[in-house]
Amino acid sequence: LWSLGVSSRIGWWDGQSANLLSDGEEGFRLADGQQLSYDPASGRLWALDWGGLQQYDGQAWTPVEFPFEQDTTQFEYIYTFSARNNRIVIATNLRIFIYENEEWFTYSSANAPLANEDIREVAMTQSGKLWVLHQSTSNIEVGQWSLASGASPESKTHQVKKAFVYPNPVEEKAFIDGISGNGEGLIQLFDAQGRLARSMQATFSEGQPSEITRLNLPPGFYTGRVFLNGEVYVFKLVKRN
């Protein structure tokens, strides 16, 4: 249990006693909008703000690099900050940050099969399954993180890969290439607002492009993803009139 004071000090209850800490004490840097999270697995208390990430080991605070870069003109706000099982999950309305084994991973709709819709809450299971709640949608996205947790050795490693569509722009028929493996897969298409526009089954053969027919989509930009044999592929396409 912890609480953030009025820009003067923080306090938390460790189950036995209350602890109060002021700015500068034991190396702590207090900042506006700071969020706290405690990881029982490591016994560390973490503090996050746009100025960086800090960890407390019971004796002193240590800064940890947080790879946030204000590389967008869009408003960005931190909605999720959770430290559990030696893993940190941070989510803003635009992207997701994951910290494990002293390495950062960043995901957004630009580099991962995430709907292009504002993120409101993110949670991750021990096996690496990521749950993402978006704004203004009745669906919750469920995906597998590209690195499986060490707590679940039976979990497979999942990586997001790129697929290719041609011709692009498309009219009513297109081909998807770059998919490895054989079998029945699922294709999903999302419009520019991140809404699911089309979902269909397709048959894939190793080394052969798969044909998509009867797209029946309005003109515009779309993000697609393919699920086949536990792998995830992403692609972009433009639909003509």
| Whole-Å CA distances, 164 to 161, 192, 196 | 10, 18, 20
* CA-wise closest residue to 148 among 131, 174, 128, 168: 128
74 Cβ contact partners less than 8 Å away, ≥ 6 residues apart: 94
CATH of the domain at 175: 2.60.40.3080
Mark whether 104 and 57 lie in a shared domain.
no
Write down the pTM of the prediction: 0.52
Sign of the dihedral defined by the CA atoms of residues 67, 70, 74, 76, in that order:
positive
Q: Which two tokens stand for residue 25?
A: 């004490």
Task: Give the pLDDT confidence of 9-62 residue by residue, as tens digits.
Answer: 677 777 788 877 777 777 888 777 788 888 888 889 898 887 789 998 888 889
Residue 201 lies in a domain: yes
Assigned domain for 151 exists: no
Instruction: Check if the beta carbon of residue 94 is closer than 8 Å to that of residue 74.
Output: yes
**Torsion angle (degrees, nearest 10) of CA 43, 49, 53, 56:** -30
Mean of per-residue pLDDT scores for the chain: 77
What are the DSSP calls for 126-166, one per residue? TT-EEEEEETT-S-EEEEE-SS--TT-TTSPP--EEE-EEE
Are 47 and 82 in the same domain?
no
Domain around 128: 78-144
Is beta strand 231-239 parallel, antiparallel or unpaired with respect to 160-162? parallel
Q: What is the pLDDT averaged over residues 113-125?
A: 76
Q: Is pLDDT above 70 for 237? A: yes
Tell me if 211 is assigned to some domain. yes
User: What are the backbone angles phi and psi of residue 136, rounded to the nearest 5°?
Assistant: 60, 40
Residues 6-17: pLDDT tens digits?
A: 455 677 777 788
Edge-first strand listing for the sheet containing 87-92: 78-84, 87-92, 95-100, 103-108
Residue at 152 is within a domain = no
**Given this model, what pLDDT does residue 185 score?**
87
Q: How confident is the model at residue 228 (pLDDT cuts 50, 70, 90)?
A: confident
> What per-residue confidence (pLDDT) applies to 204?
92
pLDDT at site 94: 83
Q: Quick one: 84 and 28 in the same domain? A: no
Residue 123 CA to residue 141 CA, distance in Å, equals 11
* Cβ atoms < 10 Å from Cβ of 35: 16
- Whether residues 83 and 60 share a domain: the answer is no
pLDDT band at 83 (very low <50, low <70, confident <90, very high): very high
Q: Does the pLDDT of residue 144 top 80, yes or no? A: no
Question: Are the C-beta atoms of residues 86 and 100 closer than 8 Å to each other?
Answer: yes
Asked if residue 82 and residue 112 are part of one domain, the reply reads yes
In a domain, 224, yes or no: yes
Co-location of 172 and 231 in the same domain: yes
Higher-confidence residue of 72 and 178: namely: 178
Report the pLDDT value the prediction gives residue 74, as an integer from 0 to 100.
Answer: 67
Averaged pLDDT for residues 98-114? 80
Q: Are residues 95 and 164 in the same domain?
A: no
Does residue 140 sit in the same domain as residue 164? no
pLDDT score, position 140: 54
Query: Three-state SS for 115?
Result: coil
Question: Does one domain contain both 191 and 165?
Answer: yes
Tell whether 173 and 201 lie within a shared domain.
yes
The residue count of the chain comes to: 241
pLDDT digits (tens, 9 = 90+) for 168-210: 898 888 899 999 889 988 888 887 766 778 888 889 998 889 8
Are residues 139 and 186 located together in one domain of the fold?
no
Tell me, yes or no, whether 134 lies in a domain.
yes
- 82 plus 60 within the same structural domain: no
Count of domains observed in the chain: 3
Query: Is the previous residue joined to 219 through a cis bond, with omega within 30 degrees of 0?
Result: no
- Let me know if residue 8 belongs to a domain: yes
Give the domain-ending residue among 119, 144, 169: 144
From the list 225, 198, 227, the residue with the least C-alpha distance to 213 is 198
